[in-house]
């Protein structure tokens, strides 16, 4: 106790001496006292200490199965050049294949020529182009909502919507398998977050029952879940939201251009457009660009655009991206059969994989996950497939539950049956080889 008091006095005395030294000529004395003080003060732990336990990437690199950051040397198309070799691309979110569409590329070029490379400011200030407004108007019309608001990425769209609407005493209720950007939006808000097991409607109802009457509540769900590829149980969610007075936000990152009438997404797929308060979309998947949007009532959009920090304090979508998203949207409107083409090649893939004995998760979307379970097995298979000319995405925890790793195959409308046949043959043979190596049956 006495030591503590002495220590405190000594430290305060030093501080007082330092405060008296205001003249530069006494810099030496000032520095000496500071040095002396550092001996009195305990050192913190080094922030970088955590790197010592961060060994997984090197472990996988040493085993030759590190799967990330492969380098693409061509357009994002059904076949790509990656690290010098042709690979069949079965791991892209370019669902409609529009990144290589001439109309979309020309629109981006024209916008670059007209507006230059960037907006140098947020939508709120100097960064609003007529192009943004046109894109927002056309998105709102397409999604049958009063208004739309564009953000710079899909990720920041979720951050921006949720953090703006879910206040300190409010609640956000999430499906456990919602996208990371939804979780981060909840963290950024000052509200409370509850989660229910994947697609467990009893779990959702019990969470709703726990929300106090004095609080507002937002139910947030992916429309199509990004990893498993299944569709959310929107009709049940709508019923529960009505019963308890909650609002609904559907993340249609993987549903826009994919399901619903002409690719209008999950609410349209279920005929529930009027019952869903807010739809969130990205431009980085079916719309072949970058960015995201909120589609909602005019009142919601107006509130979000004046209160959402990720919207107000971040530079707006660059001209070429706004133009390519707009051109892709128009292309989709002019080719309403594109989602059917996508669905038909997805169904063909699912059937072909089954014929080849490949263990897939059932869903009715272009996401066809191959169940691989163990993490190292998954990585090794992904590596072997890559070497054999097929690119797929390995998905490990935390993106999946522990022991439920998978290879995420995702289709584009441009993929041909020949390519699927070729890929299925390679996948079957690589699975057989690996199963033999590890003595796995079936």
Active site residues: 226, 254, 285
**Contact region for ligand PLP (CB under 6 A) — 154-162, 314-322, 364-372, 424-432?**
154-162
Q: Footprint of ligand PLP on residues 160-219 (CB under 6 A)?
A: 179, 181
DSSP 8-state class, residue 76: S
284 interacts with ligand PLP by CB under 6 A: yes
**Contact region for ligand PLP (CB under 6 A) — 147-155, 194-202, 257-265, 342-350?**
147-155
Write out the DSSP string of 141-157. HHTT-SEEEEESSHHHH
- Please select the residue that binds ligand PLP; options are 97, 154, 229, 265, rule is CB under 6 A: 154
Which burial class, exposed, middle or buried, applies to 243 when counting CB atoms under 10 A from its CB (0-12, 13-18, 19+)?
exposed
- What 3-state DSSP class applies to 95? coil
Sign for the pseudo-dihedral over CA of 329, 141, 147, 254: negative
The closest alpha carbon to 241, from 293, 173, 193, 289, belongs to 173
Q: Helix axis angle, 417-437 relative to 338-355, nearest 10°?
A: 30
- Please select the residue that binds ligand PLP; options are 108, 253, 338, 390, rule is CB under 6 A: 253
Q: How far is the CB of 436 from ligand PLP (least distance, A)?
A: 35
* Cβ neighbours of 176 (radius 10 Å): 13
- Please select the residue that binds ligand PLP; options are 226, 324, 352, 384, rule is CB under 6 A: 226
269 interacts with ligand PLP by CB under 6 A: no
270 interacts with ligand PLP by CB under 6 A: no
Q: How far is the CB of 152 from ligand PLP (least distance, A)?
A: 9
**Contact region for ligand PLP (CB under 6 A) — 10-18, 205-213, 246-254, 308-316?**
246-254
**For residue 227, what are its two tokens?**
């990893």
Residues touching ligand PLP, count (CB under 6 A) = 14
Note the helical H segments in 41-153: 56-62, 102-115, 130-142
153 interacts with ligand PLP by CB under 6 A: yes
Q: How far is the CB of 30 from ligand PLP (least distance, A)?
A: 49
Angle at the Cα of 18 from the Cα atoms of 15 and 20, rounded to 5 degrees = 115
- What 3-state DSSP class applies to 92? coil
Q: How far is the CB of 285 from ligand PLP (least distance, A)?
A: 7
Q: How far apart are the C-alpha atoms of 228 and 254, rounded to whole Å? A: 11
Q: State which residue, 231 or 253, has the beta carbon closest to ligand PLP.
A: 253
Contact 166, 159 (CB under 8 A): no
264 interacts with ligand PLP by CB under 6 A: no
The closest alpha carbon to 375, from 345, 401, 337, belongs to 401
**Contact region for ligand PLP (CB under 6 A) — 36-44, 56-64, 149-157, 309-317?**
149-157
Q: How far is the CB of 417 from ligand PLP (least distance, A)?
A: 27
Largest Cα separation within the chain, whole Å, is 85
230 interacts with ligand PLP by CB under 6 A: no
Q: How far is the CB of 150 from ligand PLP (least distance, A)?
A: 12
- Please select the residue that binds ligand PLP; options are 292, 310, 319, 369, rule is CB under 6 A: 292
Q: State which residue, 170 or 252, has the beta carbon closest to ligand PLP.
A: 252
Q: How far is the CB of 340 from ligand PLP (least distance, A)?
A: 22
Q: How far is the CB of 292 from ligand PLP (least distance, A)?
A: 6
Which burial class, exposed, middle or buried, applies to 2 when counting CB atoms under 10 A from its CB (0-12, 13-18, 19+)?
exposed
Q: State which residue, 155 or 377, has the beta carbon closest to ligand PLP.
A: 155
Residue at shortest CB range from ligand PLP: 154
Which burial class, exposed, middle or buried, applies to 21 when counting CB atoms under 10 A from its CB (0-12, 13-18, 19+)?
middle
**Contact region for ligand PLP (CB under 6 A) — 45-53, 126-134, 137-145, 152-160?**
152-160
- What 3-state DSSP class applies to 184? helix
**For residue 71, what are its two tokens?**
């380098």
Identify the bridge partners of residue 325 per DSSP, sorted by sequence position: none
Instruction: Tell me which residues touch ligand PLP (CB under 6 A).
Output: 153-155, 158, 179, 181, 222, 226, 251, 253-254, 282, 284, 292
């Amino acid at each position: 106790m006495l030591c503590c008091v002495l220590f405190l006095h000594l430290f305060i005395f030093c501080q007082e001496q330092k405060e008296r030294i205001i003249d530069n000529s006494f810099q030496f004395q000032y520095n000496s006292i500071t040095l002396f003080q550092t001996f009195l003060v305990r050192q913190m732990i080094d922030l970088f200490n955590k790197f010592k336990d961060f060994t997984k990437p090197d472990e996988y690199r040493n085993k030759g199965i590190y799967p990330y950051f492969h380098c693409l040397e061509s357009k994002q198309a059904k076949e790509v050049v990656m690290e010098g070799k042709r690979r069949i691309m079965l791991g892209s979110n370019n669902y409609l294949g529009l990144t290589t569409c001439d109309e979309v590329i020309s629109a981006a070029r024209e916008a670059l020529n007209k507006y230059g490379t960037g907006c140098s400011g947020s939508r709120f200030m100097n960064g609003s182009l007529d192009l943004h407004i046109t894109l927002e108007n056309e998105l709102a019309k397409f999604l049958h909502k009063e208004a739309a608001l564009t953000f710079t990425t899909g990720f920041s769209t979720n951050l921006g919507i949720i953090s703006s609407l879910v206040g300190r005493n409010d609640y956000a209720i999430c499906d456990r398998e919602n996208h990371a950007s939804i979780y981060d939006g909840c963290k950024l808000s000052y509200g409370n977050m509850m989660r229910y097991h994947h697609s467990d409607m009893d779990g959702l109802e019990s969470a709703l029952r726990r929300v106090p009457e004095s609080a507002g509540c937002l139910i947030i769900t992916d429309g199509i879940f990004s990893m498993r590829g299944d569709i959310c149980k929107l009709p049940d969610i709508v019923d529960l939201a009505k019963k308890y007075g909650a609002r609904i936000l559907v993340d249609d990152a993987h549903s826009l251009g994919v399901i619903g009438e002409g690719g209008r997404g999950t609410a349209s797929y279920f005929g529930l457009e009027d019952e869903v308060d807010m739809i969130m979309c990205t431009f980085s998947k079916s719309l072949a660009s970058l960015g995201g949007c909120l589609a909602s009532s005019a009142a919601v959009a107006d509130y979000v655009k004046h209160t959402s920090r990720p919207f107000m304090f971040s530079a707006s979508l660059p001209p070429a991206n706004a133009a390519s998203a707009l051109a892709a949207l128009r292309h989709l409107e002019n080719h309403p059969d594109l989602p059917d083409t996508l669905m038909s090649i997805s169904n063909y893939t699912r059937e072909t994989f089954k014929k080849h004995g490949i263990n897939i998760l059932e869903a009715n979307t272009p996401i066809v996950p191959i169940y691989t379970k163990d993490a190292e097995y998954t990585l090794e298979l992904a590596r072997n497939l890559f070497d054999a000319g097929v690119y797929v995405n390995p998905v490990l925890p935390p993106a999946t539950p522990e022991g439920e790793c998978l290879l995420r195959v995702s289709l584009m409308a441009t993929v041909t049956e020949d390519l699927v046949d070729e890929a299925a043959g390679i996948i079957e043979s690589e699975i057989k080889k690996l199963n033999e190596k590890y003595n796995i049956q079936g």
